[in-house]
């Protein structure tokens, strides 16, 4: 049992800004539960699509989302969302259909409200799992989910560099369009929250970014 203070690290940023790789590295370094909230919006979107619900049908989405039974399954150091007992396969949540629909689903206040308590509940999941804290990545973690987090970061990079990274991963994701939708929506738009540390990752490798954030986190921990 770890008796040191529980640490919450919030990482926000656009698609392919380097959030996931950075969060995974910090998770390993500081024994934090890794929580990728984009995967939660993706899982919910995948289930809606399976049920034949259109991304542009807010009333239907609202009705369906309220009835989903959400749980968490920890694999390694990562929290995966269970919906009605199932973890939706990665290939499905990262496929073209979900890529095209997820920003529309995530823009709906009813969906965000349904996931708010679930996301905050990851703190209890991490504590119960014996983690020293959690590192949560998304679009509104430092602004809405955990505005009081000890460490809040906002990663950004030039659009061309982000497109290059996504292509290297084999992704076919229209990240510029998704960012535009995520930044212009009314509910919790993508933006650097006041007081967060903004990091431009365009010309920095993963190791450099991780070293920078690790230094700040270690400073917070007094290490």
Task: Name residues contacting ligand DC, limited to 111-140 (CB under 6 A).
Answer: 138-140
Among 178, 192, 201, 213, binds ligand DC (CB under 6 A): 178
Residue (37 or 122) nearer to ligand DC, CB: 37
**37 touches ligand DC (CB under 6 A):** yes
**15 touches ligand DC (CB under 6 A):** yes
**80 touches ligand DC (CB under 6 A):** no
**41 touches ligand DC (CB under 6 A):** yes
Residue-wise DSSP of the chain: ---SPPEEEEEEESTTSSHHHHHHHHHHHHTEEEEEHHHHHHHHHHHHHHTT--TT-HHHHHHHHHT--EEEEEETTEEEEEETTEEPPHHHHTSHHHHHHHHHHHT-HHHHHHHHHHHHTHHHHHHHTT-SEEEEEESSIIIII-TT-SEEEEEE--HHHHHHHHHHTT----HHHHHHHHHH-SSS-S-PPTTPEEEE-TT--HHHHHHHHHHHHHHHHT-
Residue (187 or 216) nearer to ligand DC, CB: 187
**22 touches ligand DC (CB under 6 A):** no
Residue (169 or 223) nearer to ligand DC, CB: 169
Q: How far is the CB of 100 from ligand DC (least distance, A)?
A: 10
Q: How far is the CB of 15 from ligand DC (least distance, A)?
A: 4
Site of interaction with ligand DC (CB under 6 A): 15, 37-38, 41-42, 102-103, 106, 138-140, 178, 182
């Amino acid at each position: 049992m770890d008796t040191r203070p529980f640490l919450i690290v919030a990482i926000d940023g656009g698609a392919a800004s380097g959030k996931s790789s950075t969060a995974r590295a910090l998770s390993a370094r500081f024994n934090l539960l890794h929580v990728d909230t984009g995967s939660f919006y993706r899982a919910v979107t995948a289930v809606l699509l399976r049920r034949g619900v259109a991304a542009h049908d807010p009333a239907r989405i609202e009705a369906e989302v309220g009835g989903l039974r959400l749980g968490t399954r920890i694999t390694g150091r990562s929290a995966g969302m269970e919906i009605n007992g199932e973890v939706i396969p990665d290939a499905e949540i990262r496929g073209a259909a979900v890529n095209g629909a997820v920003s529309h689903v995530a823009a709906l206040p009813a969906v965000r409200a349904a996931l708010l308590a679930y996301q905050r509940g990851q703190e209890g999941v991490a504590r119960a799992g014996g983690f020293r804290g959690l590192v949560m990545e998304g679009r509104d973690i430092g602004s809405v989910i955990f505005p009081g987090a000890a460490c809040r970061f906002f990663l950004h990079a030039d659009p061309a560099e982000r497109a290059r990274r996504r292509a290297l991963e084999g992704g076919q994701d229209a990240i510029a369009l998704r960012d535009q939708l995520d930044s212009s929506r009314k509910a919790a738009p993508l933006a650097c929250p006041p007081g967060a540390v903004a990091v431009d990752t365009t010309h920095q490798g993963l190791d450099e970014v991780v070293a920078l954030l690790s230094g700040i986190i270690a400073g917070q921990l007094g290490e």
